[in-house]
């Protein structure tokens, strides 16, 4: 069986691991574990192709442990039992549990006791944030390390190593990898070495050699072999939420170019529902009363995008993003409702004043419901002094208008005028 290049190039020890120097460089935590032969179970989380499996293989190789790989989602409990049986005999097994966030409760219950005695060193690998996706029982028995995307220089190091390695790599081929092709692999894979190596192998093995026996891989060939660029905005991974967070914060910060960049990443991932939901949220949370028309235009843009779908949907979405970025902004509405919710959730509700209570049924008048209610439309300016808040909140003020933009400025003026009239009425009474 011929294994892919990325599989063949997996490191045999820590010295061969590319990147992740914050974990495996001399003096760093995993290096110290191996040097002291004091291995402990861990969870490695980060984007695909960044070295989680490689680190597990390097730990096993450096410590002279057997490496056994189990997929938490697809492999049966029986495979875990086989690994445990081996560990009971040798006491030297590194269990690489891929997709650990999908470990079922029966498998987890079986595995937990065997982590306690230390005969199995668990290395869980996941693209999900373990603090959200992994059961606390597993987390409490492991150390959690984040694996970072590799830099373009790291990818180049991996490519060059594969091209010169005659035992595991492509060193037996005469390959001329152009500088532009190398740069394309390094940049387009967004830190995913596995994708870069496998695309390189496809390029080398599918390109005929020239008259002198040299295989020339230029940028055109590289692009053909890496048809879809690696995205770090998949709809299930932790990175998805990072992109959405950066998207909203860029709009809030009025950085149009950054917001369009993150929009492009979400579009490339094909995640129209997430874009639509976030844009409407931003329109009301961050722009709000400073420019209500922008919120209305955003809803229209989202509806248009949902109707026409990708790729044309990018046009109304971009229009909305630019509009929101450059709009005046106010968060007075969300701050007001959150302040009111805080009181309600803390039990500061209080009885509704009797004159505001429902009075449509027979006998309501006898209970004092709706009695002495003053109908505002019967008074000048459609306003009359009367109590609306419960007694314990009668002087509470939730809305703090900023007066940004014409609309909120007008609201602030009316709000201030009404508050002033209420205060004057309280003083006169």
**Is the per-residue pLDDT at 102 higher than 80?**
yes
Decide: 96 and 68 in contact? Cβ < 8 Å.
Answer: yes
Task: Share the mean pLDDT of the chain.
Answer: 87
**Is the per-residue pLDDT at 243 higher than 70?**
yes
The pLDDT value recorded for residue 233 is 44
State the Cα–Cα distance between residues 426 and 255, nearest whole angstrom: 46
Q: Calculate mean pLDDT across residues 182-205.
A: 90
- What pLDDT, in 10s, does the model give residues 152-180? 999 999 999 999 999 999 999 999 999 99
pLDDT band at 346 (very low <50, low <70, confident <90, very high): confident
pLDDT band at 238 (very low <50, low <70, confident <90, very high): low
**Is the per-residue pLDDT at 231 higher than 80?**
no
State the Cα–Cα distance between residues 226 and 367, nearest whole angstrom: 76
pTM: 0.63
Longest dimension (CA), the chain: 106
Share of the chain above pLDDT 90, in %: 39
**Is the per-residue pLDDT at 232 higher than 50?**
no
Q: Which domains are delineated in the chain? A: 5-146 (3.40.50.300), 152-225 (1.10.8.60), 238-325 (1.20.272.10), 351-428 (1.10.3710.10)
Cβ count near 334 (within 10 Å): 14
State the Cα–Cα distance between residues 81 and 75, nearest whole angstrom: 11
pLDDT band at 426 (very low <50, low <70, confident <90, very high): low
State the Cα–Cα distance between residues 187 and 138, nearest whole angstrom: 36
Task: Tell me the CB-side half-sphere exposure of residue 296, using CA atoms within 13 A.
Answer: 5
Report CA Rg, the chain. 31
Q: Calculate mean pLDDT across residues 26-48.
A: 89
State the Cα–Cα distance between residues 270 and 74, nearest whole angstrom: 26
Decide: 141 and 116 in contact? Cβ < 8 Å.
Answer: yes
State the Cα–Cα distance between residues 24 and 18, nearest whole angstrom: 9
**Is the per-residue pLDDT at 1 higher than 70?**
no
The more confidently predicted of residues 64 and 249 is 249
Q: Calculate mean pLDDT across residues 204-232.
A: 83
């Amino acid at each position: 069986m011929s294994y892919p290049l990325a599989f063949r190039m997996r490191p045999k020890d820590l010295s061969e691991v590319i990147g992740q120097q914050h974990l495996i460089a001399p003096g760093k935590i995993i290096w110290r574990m191996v040097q002291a032969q004091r291995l402990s179970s861990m969870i490695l989380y980060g984007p695909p192709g960044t070295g989680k499996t490689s680190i597990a293989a390097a730990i096993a190789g450096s410590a002279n442990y057997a490496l056994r790989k189990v997929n938490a989602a697809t492999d049966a409990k029986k495979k875990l039992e086989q690994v445990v049986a081996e560990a009971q005999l040798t006491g030297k097994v590194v269990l690489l549990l891929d997709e650990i966030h999908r470990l079922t409760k029966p498998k987890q219950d079986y595995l937990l006791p065997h982590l306690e005695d230390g005969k199995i060193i668990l290395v869980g690998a996941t693209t999900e944030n373990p603090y959200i996706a992994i059961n606390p029982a597993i987390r409490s028995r492991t150390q959690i390390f984040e694996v970072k995307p590799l830099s373009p220089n790291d990818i180049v190091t991996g490519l060059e190593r594969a091209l010169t390695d005659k035992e595991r790599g492509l060193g037996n081929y005469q390959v001329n990898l152009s500088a532009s092709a190398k740069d394309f692999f390094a940049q387009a894979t967004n830190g995913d070495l596995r994708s870069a190596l496998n695309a390189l192998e496809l390029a080398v093995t599918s390109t005929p050699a020239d008259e002198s026996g040299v295989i020339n891989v230029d940028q055109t060939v590289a692009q053909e072999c890496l048809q879809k660029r690696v995205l770090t905005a998949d709809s299930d991974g932790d990175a998805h939420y990072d992109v959405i967070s950066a998207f909203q914060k860029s709009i809030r910060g009025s950085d149009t170019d950054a917001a369009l960049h993150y929009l492009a990443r979400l579009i490339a991932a094909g995640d129209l529902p997430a874009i639509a939901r976030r844009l409407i949220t931003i329109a009301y949370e961050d722009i709000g009363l400073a420019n209500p028309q922008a919120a209305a235009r955003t809803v229209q843009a989202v509806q248009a995008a949902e109707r026409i779908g990708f790729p044309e949907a990018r046009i109304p979405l971009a229009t909305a993003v630019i509009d929101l970025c450059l709009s005046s902004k106010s968060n007075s509405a969300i701050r007001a409702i959150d302040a009111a919710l805080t009181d309600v959730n803390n039990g500061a509700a209080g009885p509704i004043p009797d004159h505001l209570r429902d009075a449509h049924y027979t006998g309501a008048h006898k209970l004092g419901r709706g009695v002495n209610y003053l109908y505002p439309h019967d008074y000048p300016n459609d306003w009359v002094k009367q109590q609306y808040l419960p007694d314990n909140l009668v002087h509470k003020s939730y809305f703090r208008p900023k007066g940004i933009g014409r609309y909120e400025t007008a609201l602030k003026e009316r709000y201030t005028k009404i508050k002033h009239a209420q205060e004057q009425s309280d003083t006169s009474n």
